[in-house]
C-alpha cells in the first residue's frame, strides 16, 4: 500500500494518512500513560524513602512490663511513682507545662546544678505522654543536642497484668553530638525500663505479703 492509498478493515475503509495518524496517536498515548505511571511510581518511591528516613531518625525502645496499665501510668505520672524507679530524688507536676525533675545524686537536692528537668508537652491519659528536656545537669555533654529533641511514651495493655511501654525519641539530627546523644539515651532508656520493671515487681510482691 502506498501513501494516500486506501485499506480495508472490518469497520470500513481508511486512508494511509488516517491510519498513520491513528498509529502515531496510539504511540503518543502509550508514551503519556507510561510517563504518568513512571511519575507516580517515582513519587511513591520518594515518599517511601522520606518516610523511611524519618523513621530512621527516631530512637525507639520498648519493653513489656509485668504490671497493669494503671500501675505503669501511676509510675510515670505521680511523684511517688517516679521516685520508685527514676532517681533517688524526683518529683513531677503532672499537667501540660508541668515539670518532671530528677537528681541522681542522693546528696544533692532537686533544683540544684545536678537536676535534670523535663517539661510535659502533652498527654492522652493511660495512652501516651510527651516530654522535652528543658534543663540539663551541669556538665552534661550533650546539652545542645538534647534541646532539639523530645520523647513520647506509649502505653499499651497486653493483658490485665501486663503492659507494653514504648519510648520514642524524636528530633535527632546528623550532627556528631546528636548521634552521641542518641546512643547515650538508647542505653539509658533500656536501663530505665529495666528499673521500672524491677520497681513494679517489687511493689506487687510487697502487696502480696
Does a structural domain hold residue 116?
yes
Same domain as 129, residue 163: yes
* Gap between the Cα atoms of 99 and 8, Å rounded: 86
Same domain as 34, residue 81: no
Same domain as 159, residue 89: yes
Q: In the structure grid, which three cell numbers stand for residue 188, read together?
A: 539509658
Does a structural domain hold residue 1?
no
Same domain as 155, residue 192: yes
Percent of the chain exceeding pLDDT 70 equals 73
Domain range for residue 137?
A: 57-208
CA 125 to chain centre: 19
Is the pLDDT at 73 greater than 60? The verdict is yes
Does a structural domain hold residue 17?
yes
The pTM assigned to this predicted structure is 0.73
* Gap between the Cα atoms of 128 and 152, Å rounded: 7
Same domain as 94, residue 44: no
Does a structural domain hold residue 95?
yes
How many domains does the structure of the chain reveal? 2
pLDDT in tens, 147-205: 999 999 999 999 999 999 999 999 999 999 999 999 999 999 999 999 999 999 999 89
Same domain as 115, residue 17: no
Contacts of 24 (CB under 8 A, 6+ apart): none
Amino acid at each position: 500500500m502506498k501513501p494516500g492509498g486506501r485499506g480495508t478493515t472490518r469497520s470500513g475503509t481508511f486512508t494511509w494518512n488516517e491510519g498513520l495518524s491513528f498509529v502515531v496517536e496510539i504511540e503518543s498515548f502509550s508514551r503519556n500513560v507510561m510517563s504518568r505511571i513512571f511519575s507516580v511510581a517515582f513519587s511513591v518511591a520518594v515518599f517511601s524513602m522520606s518516610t523511611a528516613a524519618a523513621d530512621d531518625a527516631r530512637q525507639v525502645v520498648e519493653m513489656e512490663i509485668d504490671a497493669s496499665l494503671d500501675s505503669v501510668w501511676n509510675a510515670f505520672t505521680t511523684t511517688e511513682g517516679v521516685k520508685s524507679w527514676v532517681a533517688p530524688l524526683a518529683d513531677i507536676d503532672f499537667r501540660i507545662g508541668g515539670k518532671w525533675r530528677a537528681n541522681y545524686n542522693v546528696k544533692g537536692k532537686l533544683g540544684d546544678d545536678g537536676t535534670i528537668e523535663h517539661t510535659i508537652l502533652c498527654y492522652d491519659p493511660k495512652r501516651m505522654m510527651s516530654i522535652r528536656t528543658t534543663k540539663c545537669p551541669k556538665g552534661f555533654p550533650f546539652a545542645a543536642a538534647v534541646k532539639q529533641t523530645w520523647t513520647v511514651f506509649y502505653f499499651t495493655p497486653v493483658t490485665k497484668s501486663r503492659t507494653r511501654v514504648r519510648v520514642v525519641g524524636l528530633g535527632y539530627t546528623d550532627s556528631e553530638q546528636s548521634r552521641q546523644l542518641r546512643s547515650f539515651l538508647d542505653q539509658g532508656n533500656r536501663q530505665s525500663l529495666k528499673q521500672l520493671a524491677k520497681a513494679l515487681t517489687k511493689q506487687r510482691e510487697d502487696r502480696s505479703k
